[in-house]
Amino acid sequence: MELWMVEQNTPGYSVNWKIKQTLYRETTRFQELEVLETEELGRVMVLDGNIQVTEVDEFIYHEMIAHVPLYTHPRPREVLIIGGGDGGTAREALKHEGVSIELVEIDPSVVEASKRYLPQMGGALDDPRVKVIIGDGIEYIEKCQKKYDVVIIDSSDPVGPAVGLFSEGFYRQVHRVLNEDGLLIAQTESPSFNRDLLAGVNQTLKDIFPLVRVCLTSIPCYLAGFWTFTVASKRYDPTGEIRRAGLDSGYRYYTPEVHQAAFVLPPFIKAILRE
């Protein structure tokens, strides 16, 4: 018998995934967590019915969310990741010499499942340069007295515990914990299906930071392919000169040219951003 998972992305749009087997399933305190073996994209992590990462194309998302800010900053040292409990973003950030990473993930089961079933990502969470903190990123940042060069908001979709990770209050706290030349990047969803969210986050960040830029990537496993990241910066412009020193030649998606090209936006996205 064939097994298919229906990923209901919006009330009017769903994607079907052919499943070979269910490797893990748990109703955690925060969400419904599954690790599935798919026919086409290897193992996948699913939260509340939505694909978070696939073994086959996770490198695109993780290289972009990590390297765009980390090559924009000339000397990143202190890095804070909010969410990202699968470990993919931490794995990429570790490729930058001298970084020390704190990762705040609300759901310990995501961390454990990733270490066990997705070690290509989860393995990074055992690196001594990564301090994994289990807790709510919003509460953590409100109490935080430390300063960071780069904050990476690697959140799930804006439902459940992640809703507040897209709020003005949270972004103001991130601004507070960033150094004078610090910057943040946030995953800001699909420009086709989450237009209001993208426009709202862009405007909110513009009220707080002097420099806000959106970049666009194509991630096959995500809602309709197109995906956005928003960078908000106190000093360095991600569309300007970027650091090339220490550039790893082993990336599968990120290059300085891809970085620059990602900020060239088609008119329909500029219209969403009112630019």
- When the beta carbons of 106 and 177 are compared against ligand SAM, the nearer one is 106
- When the beta carbons of 50 and 233 are compared against ligand SAM, the nearer one is 50
Cα angle vertex 259, ends 77, 230, to 5°? Answer: 75
Residue nearest to ligand SAM according to CB distances in the complex: 83
- Give the integer Cα–Cα distance in Å for 103 and 115: 15
Query: Which residues are catalytically annotated?
Result: 154
Q: How far is the CB of 240 from ligand SAM (least distance, A)?
A: 27
- When the beta carbons of 124 and 236 are compared against ligand SAM, the nearer one is 124
Q: How far is the CB of 47 from ligand SAM (least distance, A)?
A: 6
8 A C-beta contact, residue 179 and residue 72: no
Collapsing DSSP states into helix, strand and coil, what is residue 135? coil
Tell me the CB-side half-sphere exposure of residue 188, using CA atoms within 13 A: 29
CB within 8 Å of 161: residues ≥ 6 apart:
30, 31, 106, 107, 136
> For binding to ligand SAM (CB under 6 A), which residues are involved?
30, 52-53, 61, 82-86, 104-107, 110, 136-138, 154-156, 161-162, 164-165, 187
Q: Which residue is it, tokens 């298919």? A: 4
Q: How far is the CB of 262 from ligand SAM (least distance, A)?
A: 16
Q: How far is the CB of 249 from ligand SAM (least distance, A)?
A: 25
Cα angle vertex 147, ends 144, 148, to 5°? Answer: 115
Burial label for 173, CB within 10 Å (0-12, 13-18, 19+), is buried
- When the beta carbons of 71 and 222 are compared against ligand SAM, the nearer one is 222
